[in-house]
């Protein structure tokens, strides 16, 4: 069906795997996408380190951790996809 190699991201929570990474894309492009996600997570963490959570609702903390998980996990999946293939033994 696909004319290119692909891997699923770990953050897909359905059987249809709507998010995939084109492993044939240039490594620089994949790394750039990874950097973008990890930088967004880092910026969000930096912002929250300056705030207090005195009035935060538990659902807010859950939303924040879920967003951070998605950003960091997708970034890690992208970095893994950008690595040169290891020979099969």
Domain contains 3: no
Tally of CB atoms within 10 A around 85: 7
Q: Which tens digit of pLDDT belongs to each residue from 10-65?
A: 776 777 777 888 888 999 999 999 999 999 999 999 998 887 777 778 888 889 99
Q: Which tens digit of pLDDT belongs to each residue from 53-80?
A: 777 788 888 899 999 999 999 999 999 9
* Cβ proximity of 19 and 11 under 8 Å: yes
pLDDT of residue 38: 97
pLDDT of residue 85: 72
Domain contains 10: no
Domain hosting residue 55, numbered range: 25-82
Domain contains 72: yes
Domain contains 77: yes
Identify the band that residue 1 occupies on the pLDDT scale cut at 50, 70 and 90. Answer: very low
């Amino acid at each position: 069906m696909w004319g290119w190699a692909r891997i699923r991201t770990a953050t897909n929570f359905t059987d249809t795997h709507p998010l995939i990474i084109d492993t044939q894309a240039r490594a620089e492009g994949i790394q750039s996408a990874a950097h973008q996600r990890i930088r967004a997570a880092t910026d969000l963490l930096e912002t929250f380190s300056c705030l207090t959570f005195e009035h935060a609702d538990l659902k807010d903390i859950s939303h924040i951790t879920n967003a951070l998980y998605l950003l960091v996990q997708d970034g890690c999946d992208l970095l893994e996809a950008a690595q040169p293939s290891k020979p099969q033994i």
